């Protein structure tokens, strides 16, 4: 899945040794995932379970976790999750184990068993650990999509090294509850909105929200 061209598209990847009219036990290779420009998302149909594979954030992006690149990545992930649910709806008769999200480098055995061979990439594992990801973590697509619908977060979550998924880094203050917003800025949202932009930026910087 990719939106690199400005439009979200999906492209099927087939093993070059596959016969169109015959079943193939291993239609894709690990290299199909890991050689893609990162961060990347893929959908794997495992027969009775669907997986969304999420790649890793290259170092040049992780240095600026509140920049536009992170925003685009979150949007691409959300579109992939929505596509996965639509896909499952089309083939739901045989999907008995649901749809789940797995992370690059930390894939569970139930995912890697669909490939003819699998080599653990310790460099990717290290990147994911720094991002707070967990070994063999497998989250339902529905739960993963719900994180993008959450409206409010605490000041601690918004200013952490790993900001919540789906938040707009240029408008972090909008994810505070009304109560916490007034407690931090000592004014209402309406009064804050009446301040000139430069003064808003100064206040947001003071609390790490810029």
Fold classified for 30-146: Severin (3.40.20)
pTM over 0.75: yes
Q: Does domain 155-206 match CATH 1.10.645.10?
A: no
d(CA 206, CA 210): 8
| CATH 1.10.950.10 domain locations along the chain | 155-206
Tell me the two tokens of residue 180: 């916490």
| CATH 3.40.20 domain locations along the chain | 30-146
Task: Please report, in tens digits, the pLDDT of each residue of the chain (210 residues total).
Answer: 888 777 888 888 877 777 777 776 677 889 999 999 999 999 999 889 999 999 998 876 555 555 677 778 888 999 999 999 999 999 888 999 999 999 999 999 999 999 989 999 999 999 999 888 899 999 999 999 988 888 888 898 888 877 787 788 778 898 899 999 999 999 899 999 899 989 999 999 898 887
């Amino acid at each position: 899945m990719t939106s690199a061209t400005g439009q979200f598209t999906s492209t099927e990847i087939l093993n070059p040794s596959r016969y169109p009219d015959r079943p193939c036990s291993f239609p894709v290779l690990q290299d199909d995932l890991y050689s893609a420009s990162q961060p990347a998302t893929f959908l794997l149909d495992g027969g009775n379970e669907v997986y969304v594979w999420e790649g890793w954030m290259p170092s040049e992006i992780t240095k600026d976790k509140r920049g536009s690149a992170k925003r685009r990545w979150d949007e691409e992930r959300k579109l992939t999750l929505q596509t996965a649910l639509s896909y499952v709806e089309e083939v739901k008769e045989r999907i008995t184990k649901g749809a789940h999200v797995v992370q690059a480098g930390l894939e569970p055995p139930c995912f890697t068993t669909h490939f003819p061979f699998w080599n653990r990439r310790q460099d990717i594992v290290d990147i994911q650990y720094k991002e707070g990801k967990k070994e063999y973590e497998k989250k339902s697509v529905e739960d993963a999509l719900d994180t993008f619908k959450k409206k409010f977060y605490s000041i601690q979550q918004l200013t952490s090294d790993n900001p919540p998924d789906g938040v707009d880094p240029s408008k972090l203050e909008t994810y505070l509850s009304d109560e916490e917003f007034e407690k931090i800025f000592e004014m209402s949202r309406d009064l804050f909105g009446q301040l000139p932009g430069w003064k808003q930026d100064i206040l947001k910087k003071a609390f790490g929200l810029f």
